Amino acid sequence: MATNSNVPAVEPGIFGPRRRGDRGSRAPRLVEAQELWDIDDVASYLGVTKQTIYSWRTTGYGPAGFRVGKHLRWRAATVISWTVRLEENQ
């Protein structure tokens, strides 16, 4: 199977934010490396507010996101890799 070298590898078993509608479920959900997250997903995963994510973007901090039309999106692998690098640098 071919891999895309531009996408960071994510360890199997990485858990992401709960999706809308999962309010009653406390069980984490597995994340696909290519999955796209919106700002709600990123804020939920990082445990910060959406405003914090917007503020980080204006200062160049935080995981790199991109626009799909007028919508902001992040690859799950990018957000997870960013948090791993933060942890490694402490």
- The alpha carbons of the chain give a radius of gyration, in whole angstroms, of 13
As a whole number, mean pLDDT of residues 51-62 equals 97
pLDDT of residue 68: 96
As a whole number, mean pLDDT of residues 47-60 equals 97
pLDDT of residue 24: 56
Nearest to 77 by CA among 27, 3, 10: 10
30, two tokens: 């597995």
User: CB of 76 within 8 A of CB of 10?
Assistant: yes
Question: Which residues make beta-bridge pairs with 71?
Answer: 68
Is the overall model pTM greater than 0.75, yes or no?
A: no
